[in-house]
Amino acid sequence: MAKKTLRDVDLAGKRVLMRVDFNVPMAKDGSGTITDDTRIVAALPSIKYVLEQGASLVLMSHLGRPKGKGYEAEFSLKPVADALAKQLGRPVAFAPDCLAADDIVKAMKPGDVTLLENTRFYKAEDGKVKKDDDKKGIHLTEEEFQAKKAELKEKRAAMAKKLASYGDVYCNDAFGTAHRAHASTAVVADYLRPAVSGFLLEKEIKFLGDAVENPVRPFVAILGGAKVSDKLKVIKNLLGKVDTLIVGGGMAYTFLKAKGQKVGASLCEDDQLAYAKEMLEAAAAKGIKFLLPVDNVVANKFPAEKDASDVTLKVTEGDIEDGWMGLDIGPKTIALFSDAIKAAKTVVWNGPMGCFEFAPLAKGTFGVCDAVATVKANGGLSIIGGGDSVSAVKKSGRAAEMSHISTGGGASLEYLEGKVLPGVAALDDK
């Protein structure tokens, strides 16, 4: 469903409240140094457009995972405000409390920019409550749990209403959090209209939506990462859409075991074997190619050193011996996967093929990177679906050769599952 964007609203003289994803990585030395400003740069087209239209702009974001009990210095957005000011070449005011910014906001004039402090300093942002938490010694009765849920829901609504009071127009340009029904991502739209998409969110939805719902064929999906359980619904949804499904990474060993292959000490979810077998059978019934590793790089233990110098590595075809674990796909698998990828016109990739953080175990993931890079060059569409896949592509040096690199790991996964994203659903339809 098409959503209105910033282009569909007269912004002149208005104050725009925009949710962005400034959850950027910071140096661990406490200096506040931003180590990767990709997410800030990604938001600039929407930010600059608003200012060019003669509006003022109030930005809100989260950073990291604070406890929701107030200010925590390591999660402050103040360094981000300074970095954004440098990018824009103009001052960016900073509101040290996202729910106490009235004076700063009221003083704003067209062209002014204010960044609110971390929305997750307030528990009401997500409004979540756990019924049982052994670490914190929390064990609620059902009645207590429901009462707490209702209380936090009310607080979330109040927070959203307060945030909404800062703007005349709401814009969501944070795809990375669009799968969360938080006060600043979805609930705020209940109190502020019009509610529109920014250009980054628009781009994400277009690329992922078109790829999954209206792909140019052949359509190949590549899934990797550690666990089948993380991608159960993704696999099920894609099996109704793709021509070829490639599965690598740790999750492949559950499928290989389901086929009767020995996987040694490799990561394997025995409780998912029945599901894996079901998916393999479903693919066969639909005539979908389901490609799994035919050889693996195995180790006698998981490496502790970055160069994996402390382990013995070898390539194994077929069964993996007891005591050995698969940590990357082998050369024959790289060739098998690459042939399928290079023949595709649409490729969606989420999840590495192995432990690419270790140089000797990166060949599989980088081999897939090389293959995916050819798709765009050959007139096709290649989409990298967030998370570790993005890190791998950047590390490979081939990011510029991809059609689209998603800014949202969890959001892109849920989109691939076929879920409705609350942060998108809350926006005005065209």
Half-sphere exposure of 361 toward its Cβ, with a 13 Å CA cutoff?
A: 29
Question: Which residues have a Cβ under 8 Å from the Cβ of 100 and sit 6 or more positions away?
Answer: none
Sheet containing strand 295-299, edge to edge, reads 313-317, 295-299, 325-329
The single residue of 32, 64, 209, 410 carrying the catalytic annotation is 410
The count of other CB atoms within 10 Å of the CB of residue 367 is: 21
Q: Establish whether the linkage from the previous residue to 110 is cis, with ω within 30° of 0.
A: no
Q: Which residues pair with 26 in a beta bridge?
A: 34
The single residue of 198, 387, 409, 423 carrying the catalytic annotation is 387
- CA 40 to CA 231: how far, in whole Å? 29
Does the annotation count 387 as an active-site position? yes
Does the annotation count 128 as an active-site position? no
Half-sphere exposure of 111 toward its Cβ, with a 13 Å CA cutoff?
A: 3
**Contact (CB, 8 A) for 16 and 168:** yes
Question: Which residues have a Cβ under 8 Å from the Cβ of 24 and sit 6 or more positions away?
Answer: 34, 35, 36, 37, 38, 39, 40, 63, 80
Does the annotation count 39 as an active-site position? yes
The single residue of 3, 14, 15, 39 carrying the catalytic annotation is 39
- Dihedral sign computed on CA atoms, order 2, 216, 251, 301: negative
Nearest to 57 by CA among 21, 95, 101, 110: 110
Structure tokens at 334: 């790289």
- CA 113 to CA 88: how far, in whole Å? 10
Q: Which residues are catalytic?
A: 39, 227, 387, 410
